[in-house]
Structure 1
């Protein structure tokens, strides 16, 4: 793919149901959730933009960092903060939440779908058909316009990401269930560690 692509990695969640744990620092095997994403995205996306507290763990590749305002203001506020660091010439922006540690595995399929569809956003879906806007590929220009409009209405802080889709067209792309699985509770983490290794199955559902 010759189009340029950046990535926004959302690491500002409060981890309330995990006792306030930093989700980006949770581990699978020898790797943190954040570094699993960084490692997977580094070959196709630059810059890698981490939104949230400055990472304290070592990462396999350099990243840019920023913070949503106010801190803890939710993923839509995080995307709005991250887009400010996406270079103006960039065509695509991958968006993935750090509590979805295998989410980066979905992006080859999402990029492939862009060759056959002119949607503004390409959302990974699991086997139930549930779309995941935080494992998604966005066209930068329409995403900027949508965020600018929402910012003008003070409608990004603690607002659902689905607010974007009043202005953006979306195409859903079926991917492996593990790639969209997020971790919100201790049981989620136990189950994910049980069901996967650092190299989950590569086949589609």
Structure 2
């Protein structure tokens, strides 16, 4: 039985809406680590999902090689990852109503755990709102999470009506379960924001090729 067959129907959402200002602009997800774009590594870890989409603004053609639907923010002005999550939840409701959950991940995390979606589902089943987020090394990573599509209405109110931008502010309302992974020998949620981060990620990949 494949992993996707034993999990509740889930949409994988890769959040690539950031502008990579600390890396000089462009798409962080297209940078290579061990000769593979970071985005390719991220997509591979969402393989248990029934479908995967990419949230990104601007010309979608730059992601054409990955063969994924590219969904832009509906909220103008680069409103951050909450706007990307809203776009994913709304897309699921409109295009894949058979998928009741969305698993969100940032596009700049090259070492996401292989059991990410399965463990988030296991924890979310016991949470009040049916949601879960990831943690490692004593730090929470609220952008990495599992969300019922039904939460889109509350999220829209938060982003559009309240102007909310911090992911943690919204997730705290719904008390998601928290799933912790070890951060050694590799932090699975290491994200590439700077040139130093990119160099560190390449060094990790060289010494831990299975990460």
Q: TM-score, normalised by structure 2?
A: 0.81
* Residues 6 and 92, structure 1, Cα contact 8 Å, conserved in 2: yes
1:1-205 paired onto structure 2 within 5 Å: 1-42=6-47, 44-53=48-57, 54=60, 56-57=62-63, 58-59=65-66, 62-68=67-73, 69-70=75-76, 72-86=78-92, 87-103=96-112, 105=114, 106-128=116-138, 130-141=139-150, 143-156=151-164, 159-177=165-183, 178-196=187-205, 197-200=208-211
Aligned residue pairs total 193
* 2:3 aligned partner: none
From the superposition, tell whether residues 150 and 2 of structure 1 become closer, same or farther in structure 2 (CA, over 3 Å): same
Shift of 1:151: 4.2
* Residues 66 and 81, structure 1, Cα contact 8 Å, conserved in 2: yes
Q: Deviation per CA, 1:81-112, whole angstroms, max 9, x where unpaired? A: 12221122322210001011223532232223
Shift of 1:116: 4.7
Cα RMSD, aligned residues only: 2.1
Instruction: Extract unaligned runs of 5+ from structure 1.
Output: 201-205
From the superposition, tell whether residues 55 and 132 of structure 1 become closer, same or farther in structure 2 (CA, over 3 Å): farther
Please give the alpha-carbon distance, in whole angstroms, between the structure 2 residues aligned to 1:198 and 1:5. 28
Shift of 1:136: 1.2
Please give the alpha-carbon distance, in whole angstroms, between the structure 2 residues aligned to 1:148 and 1:11. 19
Please give the alpha-carbon distance, in whole angstroms, between the structure 2 residues aligned to 1:107 and 1:8. 11
Shift of 1:184: 0.9
Please give the alpha-carbon distance, in whole angstroms, between the structure 2 residues aligned to 1:7 and 1:198. 24
Q: TM-score, normalised by structure 1?
A: 0.83
Instruction: Extract unaligned runs of 5+ from structure 2.
Output: 1-5
Q: Which protein is richer in helix relative to its size?
A: 2
Shift of 1:125: 0.5
Deviates more, 1:177-186 or 1:109-118: 109-118
From the superposition, tell whether residues 198 and 31 of structure 1 become closer, same or farther in structure 2 (CA, over 3 Å): farther
* Residues 96 and 104, structure 1, Cα contact 8 Å, conserved in 2: no
From the superposition, tell whether residues 184 and 194 of structure 1 become closer, same or farther in structure 2 (CA, over 3 Å): same
